[in-house]
Structure 1
Amino acid sequence: MRVAVARESREGETRVAMVPELVAKLTALGHEVVVEPGAGAGALHPDEAYVAAGAVVADDPYSDAGLVVSVQPLARDLARRLASGTVTVSFLPTAAELDLVRDYRDLGVTALAMELVPRISRAQSMDALSSQSLVSGYRCAVVCAGLLRRFLPLNMTAAGTVPPAEVVVLGAGVAGLQAIATARRLGAVVKAYDVRAAAAEEIRSMGAQAIELDLPTLEGAGGYAREMTEERAALQRELLAPYVAAADGLITTAAVPGRTAPVLVTRGMVEAMSPGSVVVDLAADSGGNVEGSVAGEVVRIGQAQVWGGRNVPAQMPEPASRLYAQNVLSLVTLLTADGGDGALALDLADEIVAGACVTHDGVVRHEPTARLLEPPAPEGGLA
Structure 2
Amino acid sequence: MPLKIGVLKELAPGEHRVAMAPAAATRFAKLGIDIAVESGAGLSAGFDDAAYAAQGVIIADRKTVISQSDIILAARPPAPDALAGIKAGTRIIGGLAPYADPQRLSAYAERGIEAMALELLPRITRAQSMDILSSQANLAGYHAVVRAATELNRCLPMMTTAAGSIPAAKAFVMGVGVAGLQAIATARRLGAIVSATDVRPEVREQIQSLGAKAIFEDVREGDEITKAAGGYAGEMSPAYLERQAALVSGHIATQDIVVTTALIPGRPAPRLVSDAQIATMKKGSVIVDLAAENGGNVEGVILGEVVERHGVLIIGLADGASRLAADASNLFARNCYNFIEAFWNKADKVLAMPTDDPLVEAVTLTREGRIVHSRFAQVEAA
- TM-score normalised by L of structure 1: 0.94
2:126 is matched with which residue: 122, 127, 140?
A: 122
Q: What secondary structure, in the 3-state scheme, does the structure 2 residue paired with 1:57 have?
A: strand
Contact map agreement 1:80 1:107 (CA 8 A) in 2: no
2: distance between equivalents of 1:143 and 1:2? 39
TM alignment of 1:46-85, pairs within 5 A: 46-59=48-61, 60-85=64-89
1:235 lines up with 2:243 in the alignment: yes
Q: What secondary structure, in the 3-state scheme, does the structure 2 residue paired with 1:316 have?
A: helix
1:362 is matched with which residue: 348, 369, 373?
A: 369
1:207 lines up with 2:214 in the alignment: no
1:248 lines up with 2:218 in the alignment: no
Per mean C-alpha deviation after superposition, the further-off stretch among 49-58 and 59-68 is 59-68
**What do residues 168-212 of structure 1 show as CA deviations (whole Å, max 9, x unaligned)?**
111110000000000000000001001112210000111101112
TM alignment of 1:324-343, pairs within 5 A: 324-339=332-347, 341=349, 343=350
Q: CA deviation at 1:230?
A: 4.0
Q: Which residue of 1 aligns with 2:29?
A: 27
2: distance between equivalents of 1:230 and 1:307? 27
Per mean C-alpha deviation after superposition, the further-off stretch among 349-358 and 92-101 is 92-101
Contact map agreement 1:233 1:264 (CA 8 A) in 2: no
2: distance between equivalents of 1:120 and 1:129? 13
Contact map agreement 1:95 1:372 (CA 8 A) in 2: no
1:183 is matched with which residue: 184, 187, 195?
A: 187
Q: Tell me which stretches of 4 or more aligned residues in structure 1 moved more than 6 Å.
A: none
Q: Which residue of 1 aligns with 2:292?
A: 284
Q: CA deviation at 1:363?
A: 2.5
Q: CA deviation at 1:93?
A: 1.9
2: distance between equivalents of 1:296 and 1:374? 35
Contact map agreement 2:196 2:213 (CA 8 A) in 1: yes
**What do residues 288-311 of structure 1 show as CA deviations (whole Å, max 9, x unaligned)?**
111111111111111211111112
Contact map agreement 2:288 2:316 (CA 8 A) in 1: yes
Q: CA deviation at 1:337?
A: 2.4
2: distance between equivalents of 1:144 and 1:198? 27
Q: What secondary structure, in the 3-state scheme, does the structure 2 residue paired with 1:300 have?
A: strand
Per mean C-alpha deviation after superposition, the further-off stretch among 215-224 and 282-291 is 215-224
Q: CA deviation at 1:374?
A: 1.7
**What do residues 126-150 of structure 1 show as CA deviations (whole Å, max 9, x unaligned)?**
0000000001000011011111111
Q: Which residue of 1 aligns with 2:272?
A: 264
2: distance between equivalents of 1:100 and 1:305? 35
Contact map agreement 1:33 1:56 (CA 8 A) in 2: yes
**What do residues 98-153 of structure 1 show as CA deviations (whole Å, max 9, x unaligned)?**
23211222222211001111211011010000000001000011011111111111
**What do residues 301-358 of structure 1 show as CA deviations (whole Å, max 9, x unaligned)?**
11211111112211111111111010011111123223253x2212112111111111
Per mean C-alpha deviation after superposition, the further-off stretch among 304-313 and 174-183 is 304-313
Aligned residue type for 2:281: M
Contact map agreement 2:80 2:108 (CA 8 A) in 1: no
Contact map agreement 1:66 1:86 (CA 8 A) in 2: yes
1:221 is matched with which residue: 229, 237, 243?
A: 229
Q: What secondary structure, in the 3-state scheme, does the structure 2 residue paired with 1:305 have?
A: strand
TM-align CA RMSD: 1.5
Per mean C-alpha deviation after superposition, the further-off stretch among 110-119 and 179-188 is 110-119
2: distance between equivalents of 1:256 and 1:324? 22
Q: What secondary structure, in the 3-state scheme, does the structure 2 residue paired with 1:156 have?
A: strand
Number of residue equivalences: 374
1:105 lines up with 2:113 in the alignment: no
1:312 lines up with 2:320 in the alignment: yes
Q: CA deviation at 1:233?
A: 2.6
1:92 lines up with 2:96 in the alignment: yes
Aligned residue type for 1:284: A
**What do residues 60-98 of structure 1 show as CA deviations (whole Å, max 9, x unaligned)?**
212221111111111212335211111110211223332
1: distance between equivalents of 2:323 and 2:262? 19
Identity of aligned residues (%): 40
2: distance between equivalents of 1:257 and 1:115? 10
Aligned residue type for 1:266: S
Contact map agreement 1:17 1:324 (CA 8 A) in 2: yes
Contact map agreement 2:66 2:83 (CA 8 A) in 1: no
Contact map agreement 1:29 1:340 (CA 8 A) in 2: no
Q: Which residue of 2 aligns with 1:13?
A: 15
Per mean C-alpha deviation after superposition, the further-off stretch among 295-304 and 86-95 is 86-95
Q: CA deviation at 1:282?
A: 0.9
Aligned residue type for 1:69: L
Contact map agreement 1:79 1:104 (CA 8 A) in 2: no
Aligned residue type for 1:36: E
Q: CA deviation at 1:157?
A: 2.4
Q: What secondary structure, in the 3-state scheme, does the structure 1 residue paired with 2:24 have?
A: helix
2: distance between equivalents of 1:366 and 1:235? 38
Contact map agreement 1:203 1:209 (CA 8 A) in 2: yes
Q: What are structure 1's unaligned runs of at least 5 residues?
A: 376-383
